[in-house]
Amino acid sequence: MGIPIRIDEEIYNEAKKMAKAECRSIPHQIEYWAKIGKCALENPDLPVEFIRELLISKNMDRALAEPFEFKSDDE
């Protein structure tokens, strides 16, 4: 369920441009920015690009994942 909110026109216009470029709706673009911002504030030691990649990976199809093989110290 969506909740209408007031938002600065400049932010709306920037979200509109980015949403079109990234094939998202304007509300989804603003949600995306909010998630990245929230994670960045909660984890100030992590680079924003790392947070962005982490959010992308959390939403990827698990069937596309490749297993990671740990090597022992003997190898």
CA 31 – CA 47 distance, rounded (Å): 19
For the whole model, what pTM was predicted? 0.70
Which pLDDT score is estimated for 47? 94
Cα 45 to the center of its chain, rounded Å: 17
Q: What is the arithmetic mean of pLDDT over 19-30?
A: 93
Q: What is the pLDDT of residues 41-52, one digit of tens each?
A: 999 999 999 998
The secondary structure of residue 3, as a DSSP letter, is -
Per-residue pLDDT tens over the stretch 30-39: 999 999 999 9
Query: What whole-number percentage of the chain has pLDDT above 90?
Result: 60
Q: Where are the domains of the chain?
A: 10-58
Please, what is the Cα angle at 35 between 7 and 51, to 5 degrees? 140
**DSSP states of 39-66 as a string?**
HHHH-TTS-HHHHHHHHHHHTS-GGG--
Question: What letter does residue 38 receive in the DSSP assignment?
Answer: H
Report the chain's mean pLDDT, rounded to a whole number.
Answer: 88
